Amino acid sequence: MSKRNLRCMYAIALLQGMVFYGPIATLYREAQGVSIAQITLIESISLALCILLEVPWGILADKLGYKNTMVACCFLYFLSKIVFWQATGFGGFLLERIMLSVVTAGLSGVDASILYLSCSGQDSQKVFGRYNSLQTAGLLMAALVFSLFVGDNYPLAGLLTVLSYGAAALCTLGLTEVKPPAPFSARLTLEVLRQTLSHRRLLLFLLAGVLMSEAHQTITTFLNQLQYARCGLPDEAIGLLYVAATVAGMAGIWSARLTHRTGKRGTALLLYGGGTAACVVLALTFSPLPSICAILGLRLCHTLFQPFLMELQNQQVTTPHRATALSVHAMLMDGVGVGTNLVFGALAEVNLSWAFWFGGVLCLAGLALFFKWYSSRPQG
């Protein structure tokens, strides 16, 4: 086990979690002249670019080594935050998201591989839980600073985020390589792609995972603020609720314990079912308290779900070209995300409740697919 790598990765997670404009991410963009439909369009363009870059980046990561890839991507991440800080209008935020697509595709599978290999696959759900919880701790710290000191000073929120991501980039220099770089082989890469696409059970698992994740991402990042606004909550209250949601996001450290007690089927039923119920409540209410409880509930379910999903996904990788395989997984999942983002945006423009109903359908479909995947597992 490489404790040095784990410490560096935990520090990076904490610092990159410090998005000081997080509580007003949608309002920030709207203040700079971007509508909700444009926001979701930018998200879809970003995901489409991720799809194009996923496999090439996975191949490059296996060739360059995971440390070098992590360093390059985190420094580019830092630059993208500078662009966000200075962005105005559709074009500026689109540029930032294009840069973020390059980063996301580059880090896809690399951070998880470093964590998984650094702990030799032992207690990886706990390691993933700590990693995700530290990202959330960073969000919490940033949200507290926003609520207490930043307020409606949006440019300051952007600047503080730039500084945090710069520090995270410097932390990557302390990483050590977890595996020797693999020579490039087009044949092996195509074989990984072919095996994934022909593995029906794996495809069921990936689709089940992305449906829950996309519902959570869109609702808790963008649509929640619109729901709070239509409930009549002021910006100060939205900032405090963001803090509460961030605290709920630290529950990932208990993901492994939950799975140990309830089993994989029980965990899936509890978390997918909770996500579905949260979306239904949001679709039916205009009142603050039910909306707050539903959004926090959805956040909690997904927080517990992520380490659970990451361990199961890494356990299914058998090739030494781990980053390539995980990039192929991410490419397929991002493809689903492009479509769901566009649907969410179109529905929210017409009727916000329709978008929440759609989120509920995604969570319920994810549960059905997960059970189908789990029931088809090899016996014995």
Give the number of residues written for the chain: 380
Q: What fold is seen in the domain 3-177+187-375?
A: Growth Hormone; Chain: A; (1.20.1250)
What are the residues whose beta carbons fall under 8 Å from the beta carbon of 356, sequence distance 6 or more? 219, 223, 227, 279, 280, 282, 283
Residue 224: the pLDDT is: 92
Pair 151, 32: CB distance under 8 Å: no
Handedness of CA 253, 254, 256, 257 (dihedral sign): positive
Identify the three-state secondary structure at position 257: helix
pLDDT at 1: 56
Cα torsion angle, 84, 85, 87, 90, sign: positive
Q: How far apart are CA 278 and CA 344, in angstroms?
A: 16
What is the residue-level pLDDT of the chain in tens, covering all 380 positions? Answer: 578 899 999 999 999 999 998 878 888 888 888 887 888 788 878 878 877 887 788 778 878 888 999 999 999 999 999 999 999 889 999 999 999 999 988 887 788 889 888 887 677 788 888 888 898 889 888 888 887 888 778 889 999 999 999 999 999 999 988 877 666 566 666 777 777 777 788 889 999 999 999 999 999 988 998 899 889 888 778 878 877 887 887 888 888 899 989 999 999 999 999 999 999 999 999 899 999 999 999 999 999 998 898 888 877 777 777 777 777 787 788 778 878 888 998 899 899 999 999 999 999 999 999 999 999 876 64
Tokens for 125? Answer: 């759900």
Structural domain spans, the chain:
3-177+187-375
Q: How far apart are CA 173 and CA 365, in angstroms?
A: 42
Cα separations in angstroms, 359 against 29, 96, 194, 252, 341: 23, 26, 31, 22, 11
